[in-house]
C-alpha cells in the first residue's frame, strides 16, 4: 500500500538524499558517520537525577549517548533531546562555546541520529535537567526519519513488520517486552527453587513427537536425512528421566506448521517440566505456584477480566471434569450416551461441531468441548478427565475411558497442559502405533511412531508428572494483549508485496522548533 509522505511535504526519497549529502559533508570534514567507539559514563536518566538543584549552576562532568528525538533553537542557544533506553536528557550549547561550533553541530543533526555527548550537568532557567556541551561525537548517522514522536506507528502491520520503529516511537511497547522477560524469570525462579534442572534438547528432530500438530520439514545435506522442527519438547525430557535426572525443564522455541491468528504463531515459546515420582496432583500444585509467581512479576492495578467477570490467579483453582462442563454447557449427557457413539455424533452435528468419520465417543466429547465450551470458561479452572483417544502420552485414570490429564483454562484459553505420564512401554507402543495408523490414513496431526522413545521407556522410566505451559499465552493474559503479535518481538507475517517493500510505514518526523 502507498504511504503518505513525511510531514513538511518532503518525500521519503528526498529526505534520504538530503541525509546522504550530510554524510558526504561529514566525511569531507574528517568526521566518521559510523563506526566510532564511545563509552558513556551515565545513562540519560541517571544523569538527569544528578543535575544541580539551582538553575544555571554547573555540576559534574559526565558523558551520555543516545538518539536525537527532538531539536530546537532559542536566543542563540541550541537544544536537542537525547534519548536512551532509560529516558531522555536535554543537550544544550550556546554561541559563546567554542565560537558557536557546538551550536552548529547540534543544528546540523537530524532526528534519529545517535550521538555521544560530553559536558557538565546543569539546569535551565525553566528547571529542565540538561547537559551543557563540551564535546559532541557522531556515532551513527540516521538515513531515515523516525516515526512521529508520541504518536508512533499508526499502521498495525508496520508496527509488527518494523518492530524497531515501533519500539523507538512508543516506549510503552518496550515495557511489554520487559514484562515478558520478568515473567520468564519468575517461571525459572519457581522451578530452580524446587530443584529442577534447566536443560536444552534438540529443536531438529528425526521424529516430530510429543504433540498433535503438523511439523515443519527440513533436510540435512551432509547426512542426507529429513529432519523436523520440534512441535513439543516432551519426549526428549522424558528420556532424561530414564537417564536418571529426576526434575528437568526447558523453556524454548517450538514450531507448528499452522495458520496465523491472534492466538497462534508458527513459532512460539513453550515451558515443559517433568518430575519423577510426581503425578497429576503434583503438577496442579506446581502449576498454581507458576501462575502466582508470574502474576506477581508484573503487578497491575487493572484486574484481569473476561466477559465482564474478574479473574483471580490466586489458588486454589477448582477442578471440573470435561463431562461435567459439556453437560452443563450443552445439556448433552455424554456419560449416559457413551455407548452410543453415533447418537453422540448426531448431537455434535446439532451443535455445529464437525467430527471425523466414525468418531469414538471420546473424540466426540473432546470436539464438543473444544469448539463449544472452552472459549467461554472464565477460569482459572483445571479441566480434567480427557478421553484416552486424544491423550496418547498420559496414564490411564481409574475410569479407562479417560486419562490423568488436566488443562488449566483461563479467560477461555488453555494455558497449561499436564499429565500423570504414561511409563508403561507396552501400552505406549500400542497407542503410538494407533497414532501412526491414523497418520497413515491421512491425519496430518496424528503423532508418528517414535521407536527410540519406546525403547527408552523399555529401559524403565519412573512414575512422573509433567506439564507444558504456553509462555506466549500467559504473557498475553498478564499484559492484556489482544494478539500474540503484540508480545512477540518479531512475529511471523505474510510477505510484503513489491509495492510495500521500500516504504517506511506511516513515518512522519516531528517538525523542528
What pLDDT digit, counting tens, does each position of 66-91 carry?
A: 999 999 988 789 999 999 999 999 99
Residue 371 inside a domain? The answer is: no
* CB neighbourhood size of 153 (10 A): 24
Cα separation of 374 and 409, whole Å? 8
Find out whether 248 and 237 touch, Cβ atoms under 8 Å: yes
In this prediction, residue 309 carries a pLDDT of 78
Residue 23 inside a domain? The answer is: yes
Q: Which of 93, 112, 146 is the last residue of a domain?
A: 146
Range of the domain at 140: 12-146
Cα separation of 363 and 89, whole Å? 62
Per-residue pLDDT averaged across 129-139, rounded?
96
* Helix H or strand E encompassing 165: helix 163-169
Residues 287 and 246 in one domain: yes
* CB neighbourhood size of 226 (10 A): 10
Question: Is residue 511 scored above 50 in pLDDT?
Answer: no
Residue 477 inside a domain? The answer is: yes
Residues 421 and 472 in one domain: yes
pLDDT band at 4 (very low <50, low <70, confident <90, very high): very low
Cα separation of 398 and 486, whole Å? 43
**CATH code where residue 244 lies:** 3.30.930.10
Residues 107 and 198 in one domain: no
Residues 203 and 124 in one domain: no
Counted domains in the chain: 2
Residues 282 and 418 in one domain: yes
In this prediction, residue 186 carries a pLDDT of 98
CA proximity to 355, closest of 258, 434, 443, 431 = 443
Residues 135 and 188 in one domain: no
Residue scoring higher pLDDT (299 or 180): 180
Residue 162 inside a domain? The answer is: no
* Cell digits of residue 291: 501462575
Question: Is residue 512 scored above 60 in pLDDT?
Answer: no
What pLDDT digit, counting tens, does each position of 391-429 carry?
A: 999 999 999 999 999 999 999 999 999 999 999 999 999
Buried-state track 6-36, b at ≥16 Cβ within 10 A, e below 16: beeeeebeebeeebeebeeebeeeeeebeee
In this prediction, residue 302 carries a pLDDT of 60
Radius of gyration for the alpha carbons in the chain, expressed in angstroms and rounded: 29
pLDDT band at 3 (very low <50, low <70, confident <90, very high): very low
What percentage of the chain exceeds 70 in pLDDT? 92
Residues 196 and 277 in one domain: yes
In this prediction, residue 10 carries a pLDDT of 76
Residue 123 inside a domain? The answer is: yes
Residues 212 and 249 in one domain: yes
CA proximity to 112, closest of 72, 139, 74, 76 = 139
Per-residue pLDDT averaged across 188-193, rounded?
98
In this prediction, residue 306 carries a pLDDT of 79
Residues 193 and 237 in one domain: yes
**CATH code where residue 40 lies:** 2.40.50.140
Residues 137 and 173 in one domain: no
Find out whether 429 and 407 touch, Cβ atoms under 8 Å: no
- Which residues are CB-neighbours of 229 under 8 A, at least 6 positions away? 203, 204, 205, 208, 215, 216, 218, 255
What percentage of the chain exceeds 90 in pLDDT? 75
Residue 398 inside a domain? The answer is: yes
Look up the pTM and report it.
Answer: 0.89
Q: Is 197 helix (H, G, I), strand (E, B) or coil?
A: strand
Residues 222 and 123 in one domain: no
Residues 107 and 234 in one domain: no
CA proximity to 380, closest of 325, 319, 329 = 319
Residues making up the chain, counted from first to last: 513
What pLDDT digit, counting tens, does each position of 211-227 carry?
A: 888 999 999 999 999 99
Question: Is residue 247 scored above 90 in pLDDT?
Answer: yes
pLDDT band at 330 (very low <50, low <70, confident <90, very high): very high
Residue carrying the nine cell digits 452435528: 349
Residue 156 inside a domain? The answer is: no
Cα separation of 169 and 508, whole Å? 11
Residue 498 inside a domain? The answer is: no
What pLDDT digit, counting tens, does each position of 15-40 carry?
A: 999 999 999 999 999 999 999 999 99
DSSP state at residue 482 = S
Amino acid at each position: 500500500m502507498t504511504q503518505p509522505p513525511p510531514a513538511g511535504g518532503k518525500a521519503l526519497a528526498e529526505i534520504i538524499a538530503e541525509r546522504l549529502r550530510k554524510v558526504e559533508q561529514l566525511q569531507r570534514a574528517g568526521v566518521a558517520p559510523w563506526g566510532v567507539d564511545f563509552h558513556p559514563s551515565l545513562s540519560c536518566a541517571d544523569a538527569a537525577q544528578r543535575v544541580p538543584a539551582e538553575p544555571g549552576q554547573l555540576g559534574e562532568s559526565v558523558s551520555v549517548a543516545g538518539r536525537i528525538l527532538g531539536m530546537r533553537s532559542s536566543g542563540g542557544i541550541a537544544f536537542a533531546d537525547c534519548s536512551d533506553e532509560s529516558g531522555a536528557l536535554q543537550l544544550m550549547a550556546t554561541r559563546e562555546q567554542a565560537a558557536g561550533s557546538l551550536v552548529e553541530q547540534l543544528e546540523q543533526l537530524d532526528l534519529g541520529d545517535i550521538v555521544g555527548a560530553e559536558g557538565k550537568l546543569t539546569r535551565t532557567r525553566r528547571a529542565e535537567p540538561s547537559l551543557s556541551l563540551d564535546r559532541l561525537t557522531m556515532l551513527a548517522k540516521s538515513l531515515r526519519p523516525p516515526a512521529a514522536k508520541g504518536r508512533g506507528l499508526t499502521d498495525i502491520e508496520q508496527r509488527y513488520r518494523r518492530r524497531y520503529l515501533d519500539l523507538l516511537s512508543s516506549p510503552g511497547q518496550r515495557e511489554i517486552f520487559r514484562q515478558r522477560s520478568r515473567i520468564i524469570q519468575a517461571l525459572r525462579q519457581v522451578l530452580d527453587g524446587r530443584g529442577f534442572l534447566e536443560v536444552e534438547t534438540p529443536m531438529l528432530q528425526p521424529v516430530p513427537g510429543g504433540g498433535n500438530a503438523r511439523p515443519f520439514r527440513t533436510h540435512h545435506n551432509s547426512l542426507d536425512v529429513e529432519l523436523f522442527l520440534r512441535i513439543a519438547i516432551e519426549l526428549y525430557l522424558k528420556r532424561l528421566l530414564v537417564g536418571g535426572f529426576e526434575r528437568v525443564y526447558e523453556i524454548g522455541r517450538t514450531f507448528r506448521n499452522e495458520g496465523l491468528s491472534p492466538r497462534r504463531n508458527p513459532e512460539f515459546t513453550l515451558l515443559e517440566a517433568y518430575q519423577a515420582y510426581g503425578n497429576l496432583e503434583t503438577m496442579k500444585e506446581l502449576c498454581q505456584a507458576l501462575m502466582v509467581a508470574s502474576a506477581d512479576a508484573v503487578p497491575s492495578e487493572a484486574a484481569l477480566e473476561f466477559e465482564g467477570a474478574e479473574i483471580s490467579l490466586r489458588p486454589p483453582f477448582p477442578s471440573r471434569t470435561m463431562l461435567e462442563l459439556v453437560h452443563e454447557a450443552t445439556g448433552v449427557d455424554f456419560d449416559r450416551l457413551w455407548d452410543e457413539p453415533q447418537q453422540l455424533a448426531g448431537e455434535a452435528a446439532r451443535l455445529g461441531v464437525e467430527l471425523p468419520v466414525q468418531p469414538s465417543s471420546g473424540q466426540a466429547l473432546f470436539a464438543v468441548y473444544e469448539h463449544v465450551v472452552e472459549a467461554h470458561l472464565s477460569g482459572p479452572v483445571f479441566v480434567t478427565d480427557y478421553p484416552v483417544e486424544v491423550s496418547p502420552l498420559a496414564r490411564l485414570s481409574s475410569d479407562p475411558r479417560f486419562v490423568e490429564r488436566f488443562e488449566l483454562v483461563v479467560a477461555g484459553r488453555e494455558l497449561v497442559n499436564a499429565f500423570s505420564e504414561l511409563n508403561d512401554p507396552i501400552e505406549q507402543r500400542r497407542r503410538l502405533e494407533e497414532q501412526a495408523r491414523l497418520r497413515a490414513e491421512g491425519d496430518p496431526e496424528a503423532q508418528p511412531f517414535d521407536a527410540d522413545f519406546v525403547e527408552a521407556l523399555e529401559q524403565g522410566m519412573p512414575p512422573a508428572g509433567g506439564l507444558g505451559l504456553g509462555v506466549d499465552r500467559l504473557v498475553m493474559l498478564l499484559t492484556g494483549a489482544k494478539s500474540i503479535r503484540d508480545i512477540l518481538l518479531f512475529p511471523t507475517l505474510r510477505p510484503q508485496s513489491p509495492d510495500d517493500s521500500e516504504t517506511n510505514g506511516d513515518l512522519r518526523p516531528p517538525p523542528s522548533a
